[in-house]
Chains A and B, each alone.
Chain A
Amino acid sequence: MDAFLQYTVQGLAAGGFYALAALGLAVIFGALGVVNFAHGSFYMLGAVASAVLLDVLGIQFWAALVIVPILMFIFGIIIELLLVQWLLKLDILYNFLLTFGLSLVLVDLVKRQYGVSGLPYELPAGLGGLLQIGSVEVPSYQLFVFLFALAVCLVVWFVLSKTRVGMIVRAATEEPERARALGINVSAWVTPVFGFGVALAGLAGVLAAPFRAITATMGTNFIIILFAIVVIGGLGSVLGAVVAGFLVGLVEAYGQGYAGTFSQVLIFVLMAVVIAVRPAGLFGRKEAV
């Protein structure tokens, strides 16, 4: 039972990264119709950026948690204006391929600059210890990641569904023509939304920095798991991305705890089951193929 609780916390923390990043992926897909293959690389850049900020400028974790997403937001806007926007009108595969090429470039650039061994990063002050819950000790940082990610997801959900900005973004996403007719400059909204999605990936990267190995290739397996997550959750669905993100985090943690070496395979088995039973994903709409 104790072990179970520990795996649960571990899974919820891992699920926190997945949920944040998958949320970014879902928002970008929703607003631009782009499946961003470079999302794993943006996550990696978030982690690398926090390590570099610490090393060069001495910027600590808590400041990085704010600065890195802002930097990634700007970076995302540059990428959107420079590359992604030219292919928005074409088949979705083109931007998928474009962002794949981009991820190759980003990974090898980081590899050349910082080598293949991991960059050092320490647990932030105050979160390095263990927390006593009943008879179980869980690392407090993992609990923090879970709660923080959950809070961010809730805020994003609130903004999208309850505020005027969210309403405009949803209108621009679902009915671009009608939104235009009502005087909303749809294309002006698309670019910041892409930046926002990239910022979420970067934020997941900052959270991952203290307890994952920070390497150039840390995003490559991550993006494939993210794809499995959005397939499980349903690609068009923001709620699906978050729920499936936490679900996959838990499956991964329990797998590591109980199934050992084949734990990663479990995620794909879960995906296969979902495709077989509900091809549109857990929260996907039928027509969203």
Chain B
Amino acid sequence: MSTDLETPLPTKFDVSDFDPRARRARSIRRLLLGTIALVAVLGLPWWVYPPIAVDIAAWALFAISVDLLLGFVGALSFGHAAFWGVSAYSAGLIAQNFGLPFPVAIVGGAIAAMIIAVPIGYLAVRRSGIYFAMVTLAFAQMIWFVANQWKDVTGGENGLQGVPKSFFGIELIETEAFYFYYVVVILIVAGAWLAWRIVNSPFGRVLVAIRDNSARTRALGYDVEKYKLIAFVLSAGIAGVAGGVFAISHGFVSLQELDWTTSGKVVLMTVLGGMGTLWGGPVGAAVIVLLEDRLATSGFDGIGIITGSIFILCVLLFRRGIWGTAKNLIDRARAGYAKRRS
């Protein structure tokens, strides 16, 4: 089933590959974008309150993990909070009980998320389109119920409190969010790099083929379910890294991490940023985290009214999202420029 998500195929074999001038222009553009990204990643805790910077980084990676499925497999997961939350609880428990340095706890959390993703993904990939969204949502809710009832481990409604940030006894990193950011951002960038590698690999090409025409891909001899399942588990792992970072940064884990509104929030970020772009997610994450922070400090208690309205407007008028619209404008301007030159 084809999904018309208005996402242009990431064209890998561009004609401009063979034009040296266009190639140079492209590498300059890449360098420019890379520099902007690097400045944004390194400068973030200078511009915003450092704990908020960590939040933005975690949500950004979470949004990338959702976009990996939505934009490149055409599967909307409305239950990604399951992986974010399972990893948050697992990372919290590992850090609490074994006193391991937090990157180990985060990686452990991500592995737990991937393990839980195998049975959920196995069942979910049997359905596509809207069914996939409903099935993932339902299974995520099941995990929420289990966590709510399994009080011995999860602490029920109290959550996990006092998760330590141990990091080889380096106090500056353990206590100052500013320095903590620069350690966790390595994990975040690694996760984002992994997503980018997946999309730009032969494996990623097959995923896009499944998105565009799963029947044809199957006819070409690819095991569609297997590819989707692998993508699902990888996406869950990336979401797990994000959830682990979030849990360690906050020092506590609550049921909110598994809540369906968390799944909805990350989908909102992905759509707002621009689905199928991978880098739109971080933009959407930054906008929403900063907006919610601003609203919370101003004492406004109806955040859902604002975010829900943004979502409605975005879906009605602005389906490419922020990144997609910007990219579209730049592409059009470039096409116009090229036309005038020739």
Measured CB to CB, the residues of A under 8 A from B are 35, 83, 86-87, 90-94, 96-98, 100-109, 111-112, 220-221, 224, 227-228, 230-231, 235, 261-262, 264-265, 268-269, 271-272, 275-276, 279, 289
Contact = CB atoms under 8 A, between A and B. Distances in A.
A100 B130 CA distance: 13
When A and B form their complex, which 8 residue pairs have the shortest distance between CB atoms, in order from nearest?
A104-B308, A101-B311, A108-B304, A105-B308, A268-B142, A227-B134, A104-B304, A101-B312
Contacts of B146: 262, 265
21 contacts: A83-B312, A83-B316, A90-B4, A92-B130, A97-B271, A98-B312, A101-B315, A102-B308, A105-B308, A106-B308, A112-B305, A224-B137, A227-B134, A227-B137, A235-B131, A265-B142, A265-B146, A268-B138, A268-B139, A268-B145, A275-B127
A228 B312 contact: no
Most buried by A among B4, B138, B307: B138
B301 to A, nearest CB: 7
A271 B140 CA distance: 13
Interface string B285-310: 00000000000000001111101111
Contacts of B278: none
A35 B134 contact: yes
B141 A224 contact: yes
Nearest to B149: A261
Interface string B129-171: 1110111011101100110010000000000000000000000
A284 to B, nearest CB: 10
B138 A289 contact: no
Nearest to A268: B142
A278 B146 CA distance: 25
B110 interface: no
Contacts of B268: 101
A97 B264 CA distance: 9
Contacts of A289: 1, 127-129, 131
B198 interface: no
A97 B269 CA distance: 12
Interface class of chain A by DSSP:
helix
Contact of B130 (A35, A220, A264): A35
A148 to B, nearest CB: 27
Contacts of A224: 137-138, 141, 260
A188 to B, nearest CB: 22
Interface string B112-133: 0000000000010011111101
B267 interface: yes
Given A261-B149, A265-B146, A230 B308 contact: no
A94 B315 contact: yes
Contacts of A35: 130, 133-134
Contact of A265 (B126, B128, B145): B145
A224 B139 CA distance: 9
A111 B308 CA distance: 14
Contacts of A235: 130-131
A87 B316 contact: yes
Nearest to A89: B4
Nearest to A98: B315
Nearest to B140: A224
A102 to B, nearest CB: 6
Nearest to A284: B131
A235 B305 CA distance: 29
Nearest to B133: A96
Interface in B241-282: 260-261, 264, 267-268, 271
